[in-house]
């Protein structure tokens, strides 16, 4: 659908990925260094005339398959262990996923969007990762590429397409995880995609983490840019 927009048209959306308590210091169970620092810049972006502003939330059941508590030791160490999970809709397919500390459990404070973010400026909040059986980093689909209503409250691509969105700007946390996967899927869905680098923070800021994530995104045709760059200038000029 995005491809059906007239050439040269510009209807940008802002996706604010997972700015939640559990991903932020000082108390988050999966705190990403500097996660809270990017809130002021994200609020500035939220006040710009994007056609649509969506915030995503990682929103897991308490027995989610990515949690250390869902697996037996010794192969359940967060940031070290990984497990194979099978595709709920095609059980012959499997995928290796990392093990995480318990995070963003539905109904807990850890799942809340941090109060520093001006959520009144957000049009829609989408929840992802709701199916205990499968990992979902991207707001568009799970790690197998499934779009299931069991895992989310909203089909993100549908929402963007029905608003006639052409360009997707991605910010938030974690840069090397959910931001990357969401940006890659946005590109696959046919949108032009920018990631605003200073408005993301990563679990691993090194070459293997954010460095590799940037390379993968750039290879896919995603633009790494800045809030001072020409892409955001174009948003500022919108009526």
Footprint of ligand VGL (CB under 6 A): 18, 23, 30, 58, 100, 137, 173-174, 177-178
* Nearest residue (CB) to ligand VGL, 174 versus 217: 174
**DSSP code of 207?**
I
For Zn ion, what does the binding mask look like between residues 56 and 85, x meaning CB under 5 A?
A: --x---------------------------
* Nearest residue (CB) to ligand VGL, 65 versus 174: 174
Local structure of 230: helix, strand or coil: helix
Local structure of 28: helix, strand or coil: coil
Least CB distance to ligand VGL at residue 128 (A): 9
Is-contact 227 41, C-beta < 8 A?
yes
Q: Which residue is nearest to Zn ion (CB)?
A: 58
204 binds, among ligand VGL, Zn ion, none (CB under 5 to 8 A by kind): none
Least CB distance to ligand VGL at residue 231 (A): 23
* Nearest residue (CB) to Zn ion, 106 versus 226: 106
* Nearest residue (CB) to Zn ion, 58 versus 142: 58
How would you class 226 by CB atoms within 10 Å of its CB: exposed for 0-12, middle for 13-18, buried for 19 or more?
middle
For Zn ion, what does the binding mask look like between residues 4 and 43, x meaning CB under 5 A?
A: ----------------------------------------
Q: Is 204 in the site for Zn ion (CB under 5 A)?
A: no
- Neighbouring-strand partners of residue 60: 105
- Neighbouring-strand partners of residue 195: 170, 224
Distance of CA 143 to the CA centre of its chain: 13
Tell me the two tokens of residue 44.
């500035």
Bridge-based pairing state of the strands 82-87 and 90-98:
antiparallel
Best CA proximity match to 62, nearest among 32, 117, 101: 101
* Nearest residue (CB) to Zn ion, 58 versus 189: 58
Question: Nearest 5°: phi and psi at 96?
Answer: -90, 130
Least CB distance to Zn ion at residue 9 (A): 35
Q: Which stretch binds Zn ion (CB under 5 A): 53-61, 107-115, 117-125, 211-219?
A: 53-61
């Amino acid at each position: 659908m995005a491809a059906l927009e007239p050439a040269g048209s510009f209807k940008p959306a802002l996706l604010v990925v997972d700015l939640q308590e559990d991903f932020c210091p000082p108390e988050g169970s999966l705190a990403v260094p500097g996660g809270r620092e990017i809130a002021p810049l994200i609020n500035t972006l939220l006040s710009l005339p994007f056609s649509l502003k969506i915030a995503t939330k990682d929103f897991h059941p308490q027995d989610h398959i990515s949690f250390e508590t869902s697996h037996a030791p010794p192969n359940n160490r967060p940031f070290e262990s990984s497990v194979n999970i099978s595709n709920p809709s095609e059980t012959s397919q499997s995928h290796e996923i990392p093990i995480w500390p318990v995070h963003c459990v539905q109904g807990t404070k850890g799942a809340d969007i941090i109060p520093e973010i001006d959520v009144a400026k957000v049009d829609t909040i989408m929840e992802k990762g709701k199916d205990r059986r499968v990992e979902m980093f991207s707001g568009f689909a799970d790690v197998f590429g499934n779009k299931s209503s069991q895992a989310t409250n909203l089909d993100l691509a549908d929402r963007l397409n029905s608003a006639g969105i052409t360009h997707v700007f991605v910010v938030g946390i974690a840069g090397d995880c959910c931001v990357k996967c969401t940006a890659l899927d946005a590109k696959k869905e046919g949108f032009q995609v920018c990631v605003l680098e200073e408005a993301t923070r990563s679990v691993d800021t090194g070459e293997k983490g954010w460095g590799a994530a940037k390379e993968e995104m750039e290879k896919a045709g995603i633009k790494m840019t800045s809030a001072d760059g020409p892409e955001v200038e174009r948003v500022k000029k919108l009526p």
